[in-house]
Amino acid sequence: MQFNNGKISISLFESSEQQAFYQPNEGEAKRHEIWLGLWSKSLTKEEMSEYARMFSRPIRLSNAEYFCKSGGFGYAEVHNEKQFADLDEFMRSTYGDIDEGRFYQLGMRNWGDQPYQKDKNSWCNGYYDRQQGLAGEYIMAGDPGWFDRLEATVRHIIDIDICHASSKRPELIGAIYDCYATDHNKGNAWDMMQRIVSAQD
C-alpha cells in the first residue's frame, strides 16, 4: 500500500518472482477484504500485523468431540492419541503443521486444483474430495488449520473455477467449467448437475 498526493494505492495481489501481477481471465472473480483503520497514532509494523491477524484469521472455538457427537455433519468420531491413534499418527506425520505448501503449489490461478501427476495438462476431480476431506478432518481433529485450508479451497473454486461472466458463452455463467487453458469462453460446464439455474431459466 502506498499513500501519495492524497491518494491511497493498494496492491491486492502479492507479487512474486514467478508472477509480478495477475490479470484475471474473463469470467473469473476475486473478492478482497480491505480494512481501513483510523488510528489516533501511528502503529508499528508489529502492531499492524497483530491487528491484521485478528481479522484475517479470527479465533475459531472448535470442539471436535461436540462436532462428532452432535451428528450435524453425519457419522464421525474424534481421532487423537488415545482414540484411533494409528490414524491420528498418520495424519500428523503426513500433514504436520497443515501448511498450505503441502496442498497447493501451482501458482495463483491453479492454486488448489489438482493435475494428474504424469500429465500437467490433464486435471482430475479434486473438487469434492478435497473439500470433503478437509472438512472431515477439521470435524474429527478440531485443528483450525484444516478449516483454513478448507476456506481457501472453497474461495478459490467460487472465484476462479465458477464462471461469473462470458461474452460468448452466457450459458456457462454459474457453472464450474472444464477448460483450464485460457478463459470461460472456451470449454464446457464441468458437470451439468452443478449448474446454477437462474430465475429467468
Q: Does 106 or 65 have the greater pLDDT score?
A: 65
- CB proximity list for 131: less than 8 A, separation 6 or greater: 150, 153, 154, 157
What's the grid cell of residue 138?
A: 477439521
Residue with cell 501427476: 117
83 pLDDT more than 60: yes
The pLDDT-based confidence of 114 (bands split at 50, 70, 90) is low
- Dist. CA 130–CA 114, nearest whole Å: 9
- Dist. CA 73–CA 75, nearest whole Å: 7
Residue 51 is predicted with a pLDDT of: 85
What's the grid cell of residue 148?
A: 483454513
> Which amino acid is it at 79?
H
Burial class (CB in 10 A: 0-12, 13-18, 19+), 3: exposed
Global pTM? 0.72
Q: Does 69 or 199 have the greater pLDDT score?
A: 69
62 pLDDT more than 90: no
Residue with cell 501481477: 21
174: left (phi over 0), alpha (psi -120 to 50) or beta: left
Per-residue pLDDT tens digits for 30-43:
777 788 888 888 88
Instruction: Give mean pLDDT, residues 123-144.
Output: 82
Q: Where are the domains of the chain?
A: 2-194
What's the grid cell of residue 140?
A: 474429527
The pLDDT-based confidence of 198 (bands split at 50, 70, 90) is very low
Per-residue pLDDT tens digits for 146-166:
998 898 888 888 888 788 888
Cα angle 100, 130, 92 (rounded to 5 degrees) comes to 55
